[in-house]
Structure 1
Amino acid sequence: MNMKTLFFRLSLWVLLMGMVSSCSLDEWNPSTVDLETAYKYRDGFESLVNYCYDALYYFYGKIDGIGAMEMGTDLWSNVGNGETGFILYNSNMAPQLGTLNTIWQGMYATVNYCNTAIYYAPLVEDYTEEERNAKVAEAHFLRAWANWHLVEQFGGVVLNTQPSSVTGPQNSPVRSSEEAFYDLIISDLQFACQHLPDQSGAERGRVAKKAAYAMLAKACLQRTRLGDSQQYAKMALDAAEELINNQGRYGIALYQSDAERSGFAKLWDGMNNKDNTEFLFLEAVDHLAGRNPEGWNRGRTRQYYLMDARTTGAPWGTQENDAWLGRANTRQFKPTKYLLTTLFEPVEDPADTRFKETFFYEYYNATWLDVVISQQMVNQYGKNPNLVGRVIKNTAATGSSLVEGNRAINHMGLVNMVDDDGDGWLDGLSVFTPNWVMPASDKADLPFWVVDPSDWFDANGRWVTAETHPMGTYYREIYPSLKKFSSIEWVYDRQYWMGDIPIIRLGEVYLIAAEAALLYNNDVAKALNFVNEIRRRAAVSGRQHEMEITAAELSLDFILAERGRELAGEQTRWYDLKRMGKLTNEYLRSTNPEILSFDPAKHIVRPIPQTFMDAIANPAEFGQNTTY
């Protein structure tokens, strides 16, 4: 059963037919007995709680979550593929959009599983009260997580607190206010903070107090957009500081810089992925037996952000089949000029390592053969004629990766990573996409293709096209590619990456605390300390002083920019802009001029899926979201 079919069936069960699916619970199948019997035993109940986690796997590291959570912001533009409704707010953002169904159905399925677990928890035998509360706290946490996405994506829609097995069909659902959603979200998370264990133990991905406090801080901060901002900012600050001030208790810590590597680099090191001290709430991926929803079909995030290594870069030695980069068959999302040259400092050697650690911008010859620069290449790409005959060395080879299993995969950068000609560049470098502008003479003289911001953007900051630049067709397809979810240790092939994916991590909690401190009582000193802690760990130890800012530089806008540098590609940005009042024509056009049709009266929520509106008995009374 595929994902969208499963979620469609679950949504109908949840909202219309009053049934609960349990056919996918491998440990326990209660389909042949009544639910009270099925769930009064620990095995059956715990299988139900386990299934509450299922939706994580369809929204993080997958296109349905990326579009809704990261696109339509100041960070990313569109190549021309995919569902542009989320990216450009055009006519594709309509009730018939398939991704909306997936989000709606998936989140409501999660809510119903959680409601079922919460309802039947008092009946479960062989639990102490402490054990029962700890287990049902997982359901409270995940219900809060799903409701948070529902209210932020769709506004005040249906707030369910009872399982459909109890309520029966809801043919005439009613809306609840956004405030009511947040009341339940916060109450659920407070229960989770009280009753979850301090640490997850041996089960990687099982939520613990660190996840509950982080999600409580995140939700309370987001709640400030609805009013009573000081009250909820204080709650967000308290939850964030609980984690920041008690890191040993919760088994968490920021990675620290040394003279060679920044803490931010260590955060994304594949060797740290499966036991990461900064991951507070995560999608845990089974890399050994593939016991995941959709099995081995995981980690496809990188292909959506990958430049055209298959076609446009191919004359210089890139190719689609490189396992480290990913599969260049999608190419939907590219960074904006604002992200590349305003948020990240556009210089060759900044103290801040986050551009370097967030993006691939050096691409090596992966063809298994040397590439010889031809006269045609010199003519087409404006190269110095003396480069004809220069060799770009093959760097592709079979290498070992993944500690457990020691698999061998093929990828660039394994052989011939040398500078035999002494020009200061590796001889296998084929395409270079820095975020700083290089002199035209240097670009002409270098024995590889260089494409930089002066090539990518027109005078208005939009991506060049064939109409605006003679090489626009080529330049717009060659750019830095997101690499946060590409550490080589967990690459299985050009499409699948089996690393864990963080949903909330400790670095974000510091920035939540900083924003909350300003909103609560304008405690600039406290906020500055949190921000500078994150900025210092983004540099190697000898350059950390360069990263510190002063109180005069700190503001909510600075924190928003810092969140962009820290969290780019981590599915937070749309919510950040919504919370901070930046989903406006003025802001979006100044930071992402590709967005021309944003309507602030319309686009701060998504349309209700048409499948739901067609299925209920009271569509006129329930009402579609404004102007859709």
Structure 2
Amino acid sequence: MRIKNILLGLGIISITCFSCDDYLEEENLSNVTADSFYTTANGYNSLINVNYAKLKDIYGGDAWLFSAGTDLYAEGRDQEPPGLSRYTQLTSSSQGVGQLYTTCYQAIQSANMAIYYSDLTEQTPNLSQQLGEVKYLRANAYFLLVQTYGGVGLVTDYIDSPVLTFDRNSAEEVYSFIVSELEESLTMVGSGAFDGHVNKRAVQHLLAKVHLTRGYESFAASDDFSKAASYADDAINGQALTIPFEELWAPGNEMNAETIFSVQYDETSNSSDPTNIGNKQNYYFSSYLGGAEVADNAPYRSYTLCPTAFAVSLFDEGDERWEGTFMTEAFQKYYDYFRVEDHSGLEVAHYYAPKWASTTADTTAYRLDHPNTTIHAYGEYVPSENRNFDYETIPVKKFDDPKSPFSSNGGSTRDIILSRLADTYLIAAEAYFQNGNAGTALARLNAVRERANATPATAADMDIDYILDERARELLGEYHRWFDLKRTGKLVERASMYHYLIDEGNFVGANGELKILRPIPQEAIDLNQNKDFPQNTAYE
């Protein structure tokens, strides 16, 4: 499927206008032309690296489009973009709406450029593998776009000059293209262990998720759920979940044996601008943890996307993901948790009591052992309009980076995990469940619970809500939640039930249509000379 001379608005225009200068600076090409550089093995390898670097633009900034406006996260003291977090003010010009549209089309343009030069560059033994990696990256960008905005324009040719007229493909066409790209990628990429590059396992995981997501659509193929289950099992490949949950998230352990694909960061390469070149994942999912006077002892936090009361309630006693996810005891020097091996001599500044320690006796017992500790009772450390002080909502520690500077701009150099083995197990569980095989679904889900030392689920537990709850426990904060709720048709129900600022009526848009898809960004529509280009119906 090739569409020539189509420009998808803001995203492609921006990369078309700056791509040559950016690449020249990044590759230090001096006066070398793109044609002479990218036709060499070294030059083409640089172009492949540019494609991987585009993942940082997609995932490294604000987390709103991945997490805001769901059942698991809500603002504490500081306001989130109201359109994306509450839906009442969601328009095509709302803050943050265009982030994925722009960055994904920039990534697509880079991929198209690499595919274009693959026919012209020096033919090396690893060229086919590189091309397969690029196809995966392009498919991933389109998958983000189609889930977020619905049908978008398919651009498969490298564009080297601005074109201002573009059309919109249907969501069905976009999904077909994604599946085709990934199937081709699967035959081309390497099969070795993950080393930062796309491999077969990463492609199998994404194919499983694409088929699972399309399986809920009106245009689903009859075998989408069965294919999702099969691809997920291929990616699992018999590997058990053996790494303790806390160890899984230890700073510096991102390249563990359960990581399938991630956005790669490096402390050394970020040294030229340490507060801006990294990512922001450590900045979200907690209250503010102190001022600049504690810069070396605590992370800077946004006080937005704080875990909701519902998110906190999902964990039961014995589930190791409670301690592995949350900083339940914050020391006077927060980062001493990671820097000091023996915690017995450290003073606890704040304690967040779990629901199984919610009685007066429990609190009294803890107070006797920790007389100088601020105790936050269960139910009192979740977002509300009255949570106005530091440490007032429970901190998520999974993404903490003790090496990150005290900054809100993007200082973390920890990798962002996009696909990991437990997620694959849960994709398999959902796919088997939707395909009518509840027994195998239960087995896949219980493999995740077993690693967490959680009580096994029973057949009576299994429904789509339980699967979503398990995904919340396992994957809290990992940039999946809005897509999970949208995929399963649970966005309106669960966001309005568990987010203290959302009512069902917030979702009602133009013509009575629900604001499930995000609007096509107004900037892209304004640049389009095709005035028949449709906006999503809830925003017309």
- TM bin (shorter chain): 0.7 to 0.9
Which residue in the other structure is 1:283 paired with? 263
Return the match for 2:183 from 179, 190, 204. Answer: 190
Which residue in the other structure is 1:84 paired with? 82
Pair 1:229–1:70, CA change in 2 (3 A): farther
Is the partner of 1:282 in helix, strand or coil?
strand
Cα displacement string for residues 227-281 of structure 1 (whole angstroms, at most 9, x for unaligned residues): 336411122112111122255xxxxx6334xxxxxx21221123522x3111111
Hey, what's the Cα distance between the residues in 1 that align with 2:462 and 2:394? Answer: 29
In the TM superposition, residue 200 of structure 1 has moved relative to its aligned partner by 5.5
Aligned-residue Cα RMSD (Å) equals 3.1
Hey, what's the Cα distance between the residues in 2 that align with 1:139 and 1:416? Answer: 45
Pair 1:239–1:78, CA change in 2 (3 A): same
Pair 1:416–1:486, CA change in 2 (3 A): closer
Which residue in the other structure is 2:199 paired with? 208
In the TM superposition, residue 74 of structure 1 has moved relative to its aligned partner by 0.6
Letter in 2 for 1:598: F
Q: Is the Cα–Cα contact under 8 Å of residues 307 and 480 in structure 1 kept in the other structure?
A: yes
In the TM superposition, residue 18 of structure 1 has moved relative to its aligned partner by 11
In the TM superposition, residue 550 of structure 1 has moved relative to its aligned partner by 2.0
In the TM superposition, residue 322 of structure 1 has moved relative to its aligned partner by 5.0
Which residue in the other structure is 1:591 paired with? 498
Cα displacement string for residues 181-239 of structure 1 (whole angstroms, at most 9, x for unaligned residues): 111111111112111011257xx422111211111111111111213364111221121
Letter in 1 for 2:92: P
Matched, 1:552 2:460: yes
Pair 1:31–1:354, CA change in 2 (3 A): farther
Letter in 1 for 2:224: Y
For normalisation by structure 1, the TM-score amounts to 0.75
Hey, what's the Cα distance between the residues in 1 that align with 2:275 and 2:335? Answer: 28
Q: Is the Cα–Cα contact under 8 Å of residues 433 and 478 in structure 1 kept in the other structure?
A: no
Is the partner of 1:562 in helix, strand or coil?
helix
Which residue in the other structure is 2:474 paired with? 566
Matched, 1:364 2:331: yes
Pair 1:568–1:320, CA change in 2 (3 A): farther
Pair 1:295–1:230, CA change in 2 (3 A): farther
Matched, 1:493 2:405: yes
Pair 1:529–1:41, CA change in 2 (3 A): same
Further displaced range: 522-531 or 435-444: 435-444
In the TM superposition, residue 502 of structure 1 has moved relative to its aligned partner by 0.7
Which residue in the other structure is 1:220 paired with? 211
Which residue in the other structure is 1:240 paired with? 232
Which residue in the other structure is 1:264 paired with? 245
Unaligned runs of 5+ in 1: 1-6, 248-252, 257-262, 312-318, 367-394, 402-410, 419-425, 458-462, 467-471, 540-545
Matched, 1:607 2:513: no
Letter in 2 for 1:156: G
In the TM superposition, residue 464 of structure 1 has moved relative to its aligned partner by 4.5
Return the match for 1:120 from 114, 117, 121. Answer: 117
Which residue in the other structure is 2:287 paired with? 307
In the TM superposition, residue 28 of structure 1 has moved relative to its aligned partner by 6.2
Pair 1:24–1:286, CA change in 2 (3 A): farther
Which residue in the other structure is 1:508 paired with? 423
Largest Rg, 1 or 2 = 1
Pair 1:293–1:556, CA change in 2 (3 A): farther
Hey, what's the Cα distance between the residues in 1 that align with 2:214 and 2:242? Answer: 30
Number of equivalences? 516
User: Percentage identity across aligned positions?
Assistant: 27
Larger relative contact order (CA 8 Å, sep ≥ 6) = 2
Q: Is the Cα–Cα contact under 8 Å of residues 108 and 138 in structure 2 kept in the other structure?
A: yes
Q: Is the Cα–Cα contact under 8 Å of residues 20 and 164 in structure 1 kept in the other structure?
A: no
Cα displacement string for residues 492-514 of structure 1 (whole angstroms, at most 9, x for unaligned residues): 43343322221111110000111
Letter in 2 for 1:51: V
Is the partner of 1:184 in helix, strand or coil?
helix
Is the partner of 1:116 in helix, strand or coil?
helix
Hey, what's the Cα distance between the residues in 2 that align with 1:396 and 1:224? Answer: 44
In the TM superposition, residue 356 of structure 1 has moved relative to its aligned partner by 1.1
Unaligned runs of 5+ in 2: 1-7
In the TM superposition, residue 598 of structure 1 has moved relative to its aligned partner by 2.4
Pair 1:414–1:43, CA change in 2 (3 A): closer
In the TM superposition, residue 26 of structure 1 has moved relative to its aligned partner by 3.3
Alignment of 1:374-453 (within 5 A): 417-418=344-345, 428-436=347-355, 438-440=358-360, 443=363, 446=367, 447=371, 448-453=373-378
Hey, what's the Cα distance between the residues in 2 that align with 1:106 and 1:563? Answer: 27
Pair 1:295–1:615, CA change in 2 (3 A): same
Which residue in the other structure is 2:242 paired with? 255
For normalisation by structure 2, the TM-score amounts to 0.87
Pair 1:30–1:121, CA change in 2 (3 A): farther
